[in-house]
Amino acid sequence: MSLTLSILDQSSIAEGGTAEQGLKQTVELAQLADELGFTRFWVSEHHDTPTLAGSSPEVLIAHLAAKTERIKVGSGGVMLPHYSAYKVAENFKVLEGLTPGRIDVGIGRAPGGMPRASYALSDGKPRDVNRYPEQVNELLQYLHDDLPEDHPYGNIKATPVTRTIPDLWMLGSSPSSAALAAELGVPYTFALFINGQGGPSYTKQYLNRFKPSKYYDQPKHSVAVFTICGETMEDAERIASSLDLSMVMLEQGMASKGTPSPEKAMSYPYSHFERIRVLENRKRMVIGDVDHVEKELHRLAEEYETDEIMLTTIAYDFEDKLNSYKRIAERML
C-alpha cells in the first residue's frame, strides 16, 4: 500500500543549544521536507516550555510557508480553548490568502503547558474546555463564511474572505476526541506519540461513527508517531536514547535544559521503575534502521486503517534528525 508521509515538528532545543537554533532548524527541516516530497509539515504549540521553541504556530507557519514551495504547512495544533474561534479563523485565512491551498488548521483542546501558562494566556480566566465542541463548529463556520443568521454575532465575516479554505484537522489522543471528530464530521489525527494505548480502537470508533458534515462527506484520518531511522539498528538506538531520557525526565518533573546527548542518556543510571517507563514509552515510537522503520510504518497504517502517517523526530544532533528523514524519504517517497 502506498503511504503518504508527513512531519510534525516540535522545534525541540538540544541541551546547550538555544531557542533561536531550534526555530532555525525547524525552517531548515521544512525546506528539506519540501524537497523530499513529504505532504504536510505541521508545527506544535507549547507554552512556558524551555525545551521546545514553538509557542506560536501561526507566526511560524507564515515564515515556513514563505520559505517553502509546495508542501502543505499547518498547526499540530492550535490549542483552541485558549482563544476565540473568530481570531483563529482570521489568522488562518490570512495564511491561506498568502499561500492558497497550502494551509492546514490543526486544533486540539489540551493546554500545551502548565496551568500558570493557561491563566496567563487568558489574562487570569480559567479555560472553558466544555465549549470546545461549540468552538470547533464556530471555527468551521467562520472559515467557510457560513455563520448562521441567528448567531449572537450576526452575519459577521472572518476576513479576508478567500477563494480557498484551509483544511481543518482535529488532533487527539483519547476516545473522546475521536468521538467528537466523528460527531462533527471533521478529519482526525491520533497522537500516538502522546498516548501509546488504545489508538487503533479509538480510530475505529472515529471511522464507524463518522457523520458526514456539510464540509467533509468522508472520514479522513492519520496517525502521528515518534520515529527515528538510523543507519543501523544500533545507530537508531543511540539516537533514541536521548528521547528515552527526555521523556522519563518530563514524566517525573525533573529539570531539563533541553534534549540530552546520547552519551549522557546512555550513561544515565536508570532505576527499575524508570526502565519500565522507557519500555512503556517505546509503544509511542518507531525506532530502527530503514528496513525496520518501513515495515513498522506499513504495519501502523494497516492497524490504524490509514494511508497517512505523520512522523515526529526529536534528536540531540540535528544532523541525526535530518538523516532520519532522508533515509525514510529515499526508501518510501
* pLDDT (tens digit per residue) in 80-109: 999 999 999 999 999 999 999 999 999 999
- Domain of 222, CATH number, reads 3.20.20.30
pLDDT digits (tens, 9 = 90+) for 300-312: 999 999 999 999 9
Element housing 136 (H / E):
helix 132-143
Report yes or no on 278 lying in a domain. no
Mean local confidence (pLDDT), 255-262? 96
Q: E strands, the chain, where?
A: 4-9, 40-43, 72-75, 78-79, 103-108, 167-172, 188-191, 221-229, 285-288, 308-312
Report yes or no on 248 lying in a domain. no
Query: Comparing 266 with 120, which gets the higher pLDDT?
Result: 266
Report yes or no on 126 lying in a domain. yes
Mean pLDDT for the chain?
96
CA angle centred on 302, ends 300 and 307, rounded to 5°: 85
pLDDT digits (tens, 9 = 90+) for 112-162: 888 888 888 888 887 788 999 999 999 999 999 999 888 888 789 999 999
Which of 40, 25, 30, 161 is closest to 105 using CA atoms? 40
Report yes or no on 38 lying in a domain. yes
Cell reading at 110: 489540551
Q: What is the pLDDT of residue 127?
A: 77
CB neighbours of residue 148 within 10 Å:
9
How do beta strands 221-229 and 78-79 pair?
A: unpaired
Largest CA distance in the chain: 63
Report yes or no on 269 lying in a domain. no
The total number of structural domains in the chain stands at 1
Which of 39, 44, 104, 27 is closest to 70 using CA atoms? 39
Q: Say which amino acid occupies 288.
A: G
Report yes or no on 271 lying in a domain. no
Kindly report the length of the chain: 333
4 φ, ψ to 5°? Answer: -90, 130
Between CA 11 and CA 126 the distance in angstroms is 27
Confidence (pTM): 0.97
- In sequence order, what are the residues at sequence separation of 6 or more whose Cβ sits closer than 8 angstroms to the Cβ of residue 18? none
**Structural domain of 53:** 4-230+285-332
Element housing 176 (H / E):
helix 175-184
Q: What is the pLDDT of residue 290?
A: 98
User: What distance, in Å, lies between the first and last C-alpha atoms of the chain?
Assistant: 12
